[in-house]
Homo-oligomer: A and B are copies of this chain.
Amino acid sequence: MSKAMTVIVADDHAIVREGLKMLLSTMADVTVVAEAADGEAVQVLARSEPADLLVLDLGMPGVTGIQFIADIRAMAPRMKILVLTANVEPRTVRAAIEAGANGYLTKNGDPAELADAVDALRANDIYLAQSIRFAVSDPARQTLPSATDEALSPIPLTRREMQILSLAAQGLTAREIAERLGISPLTARKHRENLMRKLSLHSAAEIAAYAVRIGLPIG
């Protein structure tokens, strides 16, 4: 019927990309036209050759969380974004959708859901993995994402805080972080302090555990 749907596959693991490509290629009217291994490649593709669909692993290097989705959404407003990640924190799911993602799959889910998700997105629906559907379906949030922004907002971190989170997660001290970013150790410390308050974390260990769990780039 309609012409083939073009897809960009973005995941830092080549083996996972290959698996996704094979899974997608079994679907009718789906063509994988490009792949990306880091956030920058995704941005370049979104700007120069946006496809109909982007399958995006949130744990990639250079993909600093939710803000990245909003950036891609801004670059390629008509491209569907299907987030694929191991992360199942309700907060992140909500935030991803509000930032402009059209679907959210977990790596633990039934692989058949990938096909369902692609179909749903093709029909301009939003698709959430079975296992996390409850997270967004609570009655207080039935309104369209475009409406409420400031309500229970998904703890937005600033760009700087995102950087500090990533570096602190690697066990770097405030001084080391400051050196890498070319700022004062006291400033690095203050950024960390702020992000810890936002995320309700209380130690370096909790920062690291949190970062690994949400699949932040650790390298």
Contacts and interface: CB of A to CB of B under 8 A. Distances in A.
Given A23-B22, A212-B212, A168 B205 contact: yes
A29 interface: no
Contact of A19 (B18, B169, B173, B202): B18
Determine chain A's interface SS by DSSP, over half rule: helix
Interface residues of A, number: 38
Given A13-B107, A13-B108, A15-B114, 11 more contacts: A12-B108, A14-B111, A15-B23, A15-B109, A17-B111, A19-B22, A22-B22, A169-B205, A169-B209, A170-B205, A170-B209
Interface of A: 12-20, 22-23, 37, 84, 86, 105, 107-111, 114, 168-171, 173, 202-209, 211-213, 218
